[in-house]
Amino acid sequence: MKIEPERSIYSRGEIAVFSGTAFDQSYRALDGYSGDVFLYRQGAPDTIVATLQSTGEGVYRAEFEGLTPGTYRFEGRSFVDGEQIKTDTGRIQVTQYSLEQRETTPDFGALQAIAQKTGGKYAHISHLESIEQSLSGALINVSEEVEIPLRGDWRFLAAFIIALSLEWFIRKRLQLL
């Protein structure tokens, strides 16, 4: 059985999910397996254990809730009829901040400073009409025509012949001719 986390990085408050798969070489599900996942937090003496539960068809699942931020080393132990057969190891990370705690309001002071340093202008969304008026005359369209001669270029001729040959081969193979 192979035991691994669904992701290597989790946010604080997220459920850390580990999955185990037990298949033979022909990818047929194997029965009679069990497993445990041990989490060791870096710098902490305690160990957290979860037992893999079968979800059917050779797939097993273990969940850890309420993990504190930090780096964890995991050890997944597989058993058949009570005898340990394999150990999988690795690391996961639980980050300090979750998405819900991030500041989503814009920093207007920083936006004004960026505009000043780059020679731009800062405008608040409430002054949308003035922004449209200042941009209406500033738009400049630049176009450039480049002529690429195809006649006399052997690469174009070779690509054209290969494309026609490939089409003919596919049509012949699928009996469309």
pLDDT at 138: 59
Pairwise CA distance, residues 118 & 115, whole Å: 5
- 37, part of any domain: yes
- 126, part of any domain: no
Short-list 103, 93, 97, CA closest to 73? 93
pLDDT at 166: 94
Q: What total number of domains does the chain contain?
A: 1
pLDDT at 100: 64
CATH code of residue 65: 2.60.40.1930
Mean pLDDT of the chain: 86
* Strands lying side by side in the sheet with 33-41: 9-11, 83-95, 70-80, 33-41, 47-51
Short-list 68, 27, 80, CA closest to 44? 68
With a cut of 80, say whether residue 36 has pLDDT above it.
Answer: yes
Task: Dig out the tokens for 69 from the structure.
Answer: 């931020």
pLDDT at 156: 83
Pairwise CA distance, residues 14 & 84, whole Å: 30
Query: How far, in Å, are 26, 37, 48, 95 from residue 76 at the CA level?
Result: 23, 4, 12, 22
- 148, part of any domain: no
pLDDT at 127: 79
Burial of residue 20 (CB within 10 Å: 0-12, 13-18, 19+) is: buried
6 pLDDT band, cuts 50/70/90, is: very high
- The whole domain housing 14 covers 2-99
- Asked whether the beta carbons of 73 and 42 are under 8 A apart, the reply is yes
pLDDT of 113-133, one tens digit each?
998 999 888 888 887 787 777
pLDDT at 98: 65
pLDDT at 167: 93
- Asked whether the beta carbons of 33 and 24 are under 8 A apart, the reply is no
- 143, part of any domain: no
Q: What pTM, to 2 d.p., does this model score? A: 0.54
With a cut of 70, say whether residue 102 has pLDDT above it.
Answer: no
How is residue 108 annotated by DSSP? H
Which SS3 state, helix, strand or coil, does residue 11 take? Answer: strand
pLDDT at 99: 62
The percentage of the chain sitting over the pLDDT mark of 70, rounded to a whole number, equals: 93
Give 95 or 1, the one with higher predicted confidence: 95
